[in-house]
Amino acid sequence: MKKRLLSVLLVGTVAMSLVACGGGGKKADSGDSGSSADSNKLTVWAWDQTFNIKSMQMAADEYAKDHEGFEVEIIETGSDDCQTKLTTCANAGDYSTMPDIVLMQDNSYQKYLKSYPDAFTDLSDMDVTWEDFGELKQAYSMLDGKHYGVPFDNGAVIACYRTDILAEAGYTIDDLTDITWSRFMEIGQDVHEKTGKYLLMNQATDGDLMMMMIQSCGANLVDEDGNAFIVGNEVVEKCVDLYAEMIEKDVVKLINNWDEYVQTITTGQTAGVINGNWITATLMSTEDQKGLWEITTMPKVDGIDTATNYANNGGSSWYITSNCKNKELAMDFLASTFGSSTEFYDSILPETGAISCYLPAGESEVYNEPNEFFNNQPIFSTIVEYSSHIPEFTSTPYHYESRECINTAVGNIVDGADKDAALKEAQKTLEFKMTE
């Protein structure tokens, strides 16, 4: 009964958390609110009532059990608003309206840390065993060997497949586990010929799949010195070739936008989905497909020594601002909950759908419960385990600019443009964007 109840809860709560990684949410209703003057109270900026905000409130409630009178004031603030307000404060040289704690997306944080290092508190001496988080997750919020963030939202990539469609073509989930993209292509062609379904689909306007492929090799579109590195990048060229070939051979179907992406899943037009694990919310909203999906590792890039079957897409972390009046309290609060408590992560999983990137949480009974939607796989412990294998890559403050540049190049190449010319143009565009 307990397993069945947990599965039911997760179907509902994970479905509500889809926007968590996307930075949605309303602007703060009460205007700017700086660090609390109350010695037992912390102010927090975060978005998404059912995911991030609820998780933070549950953390505060848990901490208050042993710290009488403790409370947090959570001001609902969209991800873009968090960044805009931080920039405004930095440009004015006045951080007094910043909260004690702020949530920021992993892929955007480096830009703000490098631009405004005085806006954040060094957490290196915090009572957290940093090795309990994957290397990449730590790296998102590090600069010069110092830790500035407490990791929260898990963005580990998963490959999800419709086992009934695979079976129709003569395959099982094992045939797609720990494989290369070339093997994926072979299976995809066979699946399309036998079933008419595509093994994968991707938004033509979204460069996430390309970034996942590149970063699964521990590579990026910048070099170790932070310079644009597209032309002459072996990993980039290999990924571009694979991607273009998969489209040409009817393995990957290009679609136009997010709504069409979801519709392709819910109407059974695709046999597979590869994305950050938050995509489980979309899958689990299709009740008629319950028990038909299973998850495994993504394919890895052929011929690259550093290639792995693991990548990240999405995620966020908590940061203590330099405006915090009680840094010791803020550090102890985050360390005691998000930074070290398996029991806390057990409690928020069924309530919010928040999957931990705290590695010990993956060993708990709750995380190892079979999930009925995914054919009774213990998907949450598996996702945490995947997050421990994601290779670290050179981070850049220009993640989104890089993604846009490579996606434009790939789109042009698929449409028939010369590959070398398209990549040179992407390099030139990224170099320009990095000077703005």
d(CA 359, CA 342): 9
Range of 166's domain?
A: 157-311+398-433
pLDDT tens column, 352-382: 999 999 999 999 999 999 999 999 999 999 9
Q: Helix (H) and strand (E) counts for the chain? A: 16, 12
E strands present in 13-132 = 41-46, 71-76, 101-105
Single out the residue of 408, 66, 415 nearest to residue 207, CA to CA. Answer: 408
d(CA 14, CA 186): 33
Q: Are residues 227 and 198 in the same domain?
A: yes
Q: Are residues 125 and 221 in the same domain?
A: no
Q: Are residues 30 and 97 in the same domain?
A: yes
Q: Are residues 146 and 163 in the same domain?
A: no
Q: Are residues 319 and 303 in the same domain?
A: no
Question: Residue 306: phi, psi to the nearest 5?
Answer: -90, 5
109-130 average pLDDT score: 95
d(CA 369, CA 362): 11
Burial class (CB within 10 angstroms; exposed 0-12, middle 13-18, buried 19+) of 238: buried
Look up residue 112 and give its amino acid. Answer: Y
pLDDT tens column, 14-32: 444 433 444 333 333 444 5
Helix (H, G, I), strand (E, B) or coil at 243: helix
- Residue 179: C-alpha distances to residues 80, 240, 250, 281, 395 (Å): 37, 18, 19, 25, 26
Q: Are residues 146 and 48 in the same domain?
A: yes
d(CA 79, CA 45): 9
Give the model's pLDDT for residue 3.
37
Residue 217 lies in a domain: yes
Both tokens of residue 406? 């490579």
Q: Are residues 277 and 423 in the same domain?
A: yes
Residue 66 lies in a domain: yes
Burial class (CB within 10 angstroms; exposed 0-12, middle 13-18, buried 19+) of 289: middle
Residue 296 lies in a domain: yes
Give the model's pLDDT for residue 417.
96
13 — alpha (psi -120 to 50), left (phi > 0) or beta?
Answer: alpha
316-320 vs 149-153, strand pairing mode: antiparallel
Question: What CATH number is associated with residue 92?
Answer: 3.40.190.10
Residue 389 lies in a domain: no
Q: Are residues 408 and 284 in the same domain?
A: yes
Both tokens of residue 151? 């990791």
pLDDT surpassing 90 at residue 36: no
Q: Are residues 249 and 284 in the same domain?
A: yes
Whether 334 contacts 363, CB under 8 Å: no
Residue 385 lies in a domain: no
Q: Are residues 342 and 293 in the same domain?
A: no
Mean pLDDT, the chain, integer: 91
Proportion of the chain above pLDDT 70, given as a percent: 92
Model confidence band, residue 60 (pLDDT cutoffs 50, 70, 90) = very high
d(CA 2, CA 9): 11
Q: Output DSSP code: residue 30.
A: T
Q: How far is CA 40 from the centre of its chain?
A: 32
pLDDT tens column, 259-311: 999 999 999 999 999 999 999 989 998 999 999 999 999 999 999 999 999 99
Q: Output DSSP code: residue 98.
A: S
d(CA 276, CA 257): 17
Give the model's pLDDT for residue 37.
64
Residue 392 lies in a domain: no
Give the model's pLDDT for residue 6.
44
Both tokens of residue 92? 């004015």
Overall residue count recorded for the chain in this entry: 436
Both tokens of residue 299? 């394919």
Q: Are residues 217 and 257 in the same domain?
A: yes
293-296 vs 146-147, strand pairing mode: unpaired
Checking 418-423 for CB contacts under 8 A at 24+ apart, the result is 419/237, 419/240, 419/241, 423/230, 423/231, 423/236, 423/237, 423/240
Model confidence band, residue 39 (pLDDT cutoffs 50, 70, 90) = confident
Element (H, E) at 403: helix 399-414
111-117 average pLDDT score: 93
Model confidence band, residue 33 (pLDDT cutoffs 50, 70, 90) = low
How big is the chain by its Cα radius of gyration, in Å?
22
d(CA 228, CA 215): 15
DSSP string, 181-222: HHHHHHHHHHHHHHHS-BSEEEETT--HHHHHHHHTTT--SB
- What's the total number of domains in the chain? 2
Residue 19 lies in a domain: yes
Q: Are residues 133 and 234 in the same domain?
A: no
pLDDT tens column, 303-331: 999 999 999 999 999 999 999 999 999 99
